[in-house]
Structures are given as C-alpha cells and as structure tokens.
C-alpha cells in the first residue's frame, strides 16, 4: 500500500506545539512579546497602542471655544485631519468641529452661521486613552460612525488625535 504514516506526523506536530506552548508559558512569554518580535504580523498589529499612531504636538488641530469660524476652517485645513478640538480657557477638550459639522451648517443656508467654534461644535466628543489598543479605537469609530478620535490627558486636555486613515496605514482595519 505504500502509505505515509500520517497519524504519526500529526501526533508529532501536536506534541511539538504542546511543548512550544509549555515552554512559552513557563518563560512568561505573552502576546506583547510576540508582537515585539513580529511587529508586522497579525498579532503585532492587534496589539499596537493608540499612542504609537496618534498625531501629537503641533500636528493636533486645536482652537479656543471663542475662535471665529474662519479660524476653525484655517486650523482644520492646515492640519488636514478633518476636525479640530475645541478647548475652554483651561485647555480642556469641550467639543469637536468636523468637516461634516461645517457642511451641515452650510446646507442649512439660513444665514444663521454660529459666530464661534462653540456654536458649531459637537459637545462631549468621543475620546480614547493613549494606552488603549488601536483596535479599541477602531471599534469606537465604527460604533459611532466617526473618523477621528482625540486623546485627552488626565486633566481632559487634548494631547493627540488619531484618524481612521492612521489605522488603515497601520493595517489595523
């Protein structure tokens, strides 16, 4: 019959896998270690944190609540992320103005343009922590049909922004 001992080969593979897992467990080797050694792999991408992808510093679009609409448009156009954070006098995130907010205000066409960012913004924007997994940020974006999330520090000040395109470039989505 000249058959290959397939059951022996399958048993050897299963035993090898079991031994490898036992050694990894004994050494405390976890998913984070695997991700570090294979950052381009599926597990590595699933464990990328928001802070690794977020825009920071001067890249973050921010305007004061009392900013004029022309200042809002300049900030959004200059930073090219489709939104700007709106902050109060203490620098805390109080809202977000998106490209969609601007379009909807223009569509109303009643000449009732709000005079400031505060009049146009969406209050209590969705945020994510810098240490959160990028997959968590993606799930939040999908759940709320949004394309950007601000990252706020412990005092509520915006310290970063992540856009859906950042997640796509990192192959998270």
**What is the full DSSP assignment across the chain?**
-----HHHHHHHHHHHHHHHHHHHHHTT--HHHHHHH-TTSHHHHHT-BHHHH-B-GGGS-EEETT-BHHHHHHHHHHHTSSEEEEE-TT--EEEEEEHHHHHHHHHH-SS---SBHHHHPEES--B--TTSBHHHHHHHHHHHT-SEEEEE-TTS-EEEEEEHHHHHHTT--
Instruction: Please state whether the predicted TM-score (pTM) of the whole model is above 0.85.
Output: no
May I ask the CATH architecture of the domain 50-169?
Roll (3.10)
Interval 142-155: pLDDT, tens: 999 999 999 999 99
Q: What is the mean pLDDT of the chain?
A: 88
| 92 phi and psi angles, rounded to 5 deg | -85, 140
| pLDDT at position 1 over 60 | no
Q: Where in the chain is the domain with CATH 3.10.580.10?
A: 50-169
Give the residue among 167, 122, 121, 123 at the shortest CA–CA distance from 141: 167
* Per-residue model confidence as pLDDT tens digits over 15-58: 888 888 888 888 887 766 766 676 666 677 778 899 999 999 99
Give the C-alpha separation, 130 to 114, whole Å.
Answer: 32
pLDDT at 36: 67
Residue 122 has a CB neighbour count (10 Å cut-off) of 15
What pLDDT does 112 receive? 62
CA dihedral 42, 44, 48, 54 (to 10 degrees): -80
Most confident among 31-40, 100-109, 137-146 (mean pLDDT): 137-146
What angle separates helix 99-108 from helix 69-79, to the nearest 10 degrees?
Answer: 140
| Residue range 157-172, pLDDT digits in tens | 999 999 999 999 998 8
| pLDDT classification of 90: cutoffs 50, 70, 90 | very high
**Per-residue confidence (pLDDT) for residue 84, from 0 to 100:** 98
Per-residue model confidence (pLDDT) at position 23: 85
Residue-level pLDDT at 14: 84
Mean pLDDT of 56-61: 97
pLDDT of residue 45: 74
Mean of pLDDT values over 117-140: 94
Mean pLDDT across the stretch 114-118? 87
């Amino acid at each position: 019959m000249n058959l290959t001992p397939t059951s022996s080969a399958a048993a050897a593979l299963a035993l090898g896998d079991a031994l490898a897992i036992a050694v990894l467990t004994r050494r405390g080797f976890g998913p984070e270690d695997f991700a570090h050694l294979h950052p381009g792999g599926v597990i590595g991408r699933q464990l990328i944190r928001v802070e690794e992808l977020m825009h920071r510093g001067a890249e973050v679009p921010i305007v004061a609540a009392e900013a004029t609409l022309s200042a809002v448009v300049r900030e959004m156009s200059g930073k090219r992320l489709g939104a700007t954070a709106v902050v109060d006098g203490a620098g805390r995130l109080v809202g977000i103005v998106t490209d969609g907010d601007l379009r909807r205000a223009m569509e109303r066409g009643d000449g009732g343009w709000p005079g400031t960012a505060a009049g146009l913004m969406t209050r209590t924007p969705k945020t994510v922590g810098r240490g959160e997994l990028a997959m968590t940020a993606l799930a939040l974006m999908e759940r709320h049909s949004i394309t950007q999330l601000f990252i706020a520090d412990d005092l509520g000040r915006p310290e970063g922004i992540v856009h859906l395109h950042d997640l796509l470039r990192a192959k998270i989505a």
